[in-house]
Amino acid sequence: MWWFFRIVSSSIFLLTIILSIPISFDVGGRDTGLAYSLALFGFYFVYSAAKLATPEKSRMRWALTSVLQTSQWVVVPALLIWSLHNFAVDASSTDWVSRTIGGLGHRKHTTWTDWIFGNGGLVESVTLGGWDKTLSYSSPVFQLAEGFCTLLVIQAAGQISRWLVNRGRSDTWVLLLLIFSASIIASAVYFLWRMALFPSISNLDATLIGVTVTSAVFLCAIGIGTGRGNPVESSLLFAYVVLCVYQIFTDYIQSPEAQAAAQAAQEQAANQPEFPPLPPIIMASYSTFLHLLGSLPSAVYSSLSFLYAAFQTIAPSVMISLIYRIIVFYCATRIIPAVRESGARALMEEPSLDDSDGANRLLGVLSWFSPSILIAVYTSLLLQHFSASDNEGWTLRDGDAGGNTWRWINVAATISLYAIELYLGSEDTDSGMVSHWKTD
């Protein structure tokens, strides 16, 4: 039963982080969001370090972690209120160096203490500026880490699929895995077709897309043909390459042409006579459901409206990238080492640093500090879409995401690593990840 409360607690923590950080940016501005995310990063870094520094199953560790874990329900909203109170409504300039140097000469500080430690002082400007630059320079690292973890997940999925095929009932599993792989490839081809219709793709972009997709297809065919890969690995690699290319050329927002076409379709539909889209019994149930929603207490309705407005401040690409990175990072730091060591039973255990495998030890350290890493990754994604102007203020949905060069580098690195894996791999299906599993 304890695992259920852990899942609920982790879900609430994730929802709190996803909603509170963009709210701080949207309401208070860039400095408010940076201050709040830095404070959250520091709090959860101290929490993870306290768990890591104290002996396992000791009273000190239990007491310290219990206090910090319980206090987060008060600390997180308190930090949000503190950041909104002290850092709200910053300048539209995003250059913290010019803002710091220029602002210190114009602000009227009565003492040296206020000039250094006061509101808008040197320490505040340098701290927020350093956090801003750290997140900016860390974006390529997060991008490359995403590709590396994705490759680990792809290899793990391929090894598990081999084990499923070889453990018995192979014909059934082969058919199911082929259907799964074909569905993934068909979905990826659909998004490739959508990219072909983008008006912003130049001749150079089309050449890069062609070379990338051709290389991925060539590697997938070699892997399947030589037996060093399988359809599951190939389909997942092809889908990830298409996902990276798709993210380079779109922000998951409709183009002006598509918006105009959708508006014209709505106007044409409005002129048509109204017919119920579904049978009367279903429409009656739908009307009853809407009536029940309308009779909810005002507090529940206001809460749902607040959640909807909070999610509206986040760009679609940020949510998709965040969800994808959470999945692959979690799989790389928890699921893969657990399955390699003792099977699925280890998924609910805490990661251990007492491991003979250096890679597992590194992944264990990363899993200990996963809340802080999550906050840094999410803030970095939000900053890519933050834009400010003197007339319209700021927004988190219209900024230039940038970083296309590093996305291309990530695609090339992922394909290259997979090619090296195929070159150094063998056709032995009893891999180290699943060879110790019992097959009756």
Per DSSP, the residues of 145-187 read HHHHHHHHHHHHHHHHHHHHHHTS-HHHHHHHHHHHHHHHHHH
Q: Could you tell me the two tokens for 177?
A: 């895995």
pLDDT score recorded for residue 331: 80
**In which residue ranges of the chain is pLDDT below 70?**
1-3, 89-122, 168-169, 251-286, 289-301, 334-364, 387-403, 426-440
pLDDT score recorded for residue 336: 61
CA distance 352 to 364: 6
The model's pTM: 0.76
pLDDT score recorded for residue 69: 82
pLDDT score recorded for residue 199: 74
Cα dihedral across residues 232, 414, 373, 51: positive or negative: positive
Q: 106-114 contacts: CB < 8 A, separation 24 or more?
A: none
Residue 26 parent element (H or E):
helix 2-28
Report helix, strand or coil for 395.
Answer: strand
Q: Would you call 160 exposed, middle or buried from its count of C-beta atoms within 10 A (0-12, 13-18, 19+)?
A: middle
pLDDT score recorded for residue 190: 92
Residue 394 parent element (H or E):
strand 393-395
Q: Could you tell me the two tokens for 346?
A: 């280890």
Per-residue pLDDT reduced to its tens digit, 267-279: 665 565 555 555 6
Residues 226 and 175: beta-carbon distance below 8 Å: no
pLDDT score recorded for residue 438: 47
pLDDT score recorded for residue 214: 93
Q: Could you tell me the two tokens for 243?
A: 């996902």
pLDDT score recorded for residue 101: 45
What is the average pLDDT value for the chain, to the nearest integer? 76
pLDDT score recorded for residue 234: 92
The 10 Å CB-count burial string (b at 16+, else e) for 215-249 is bbeebbeebeeeebbbbbbbbbbbbbbbbbbbbbe
**Within a 10 A sphere around the Cβ of 301, how many other Cβ atoms?**
13
Per-residue pLDDT reduced to its tens digit, 319-378: 888 889 888 888 877 666 655 554 444 444 555 555 555 556 666 677 788 889 889 998
Q: What is the dihedral of CA 428, 432, 435, 436, to 10 degrees?
A: 170
Residue 388 parent element (H or E):
strand 387-389
CA distance 47 to 43: 6
**Within a 10 A sphere around the Cβ of 197, how many other Cβ atoms?**
10
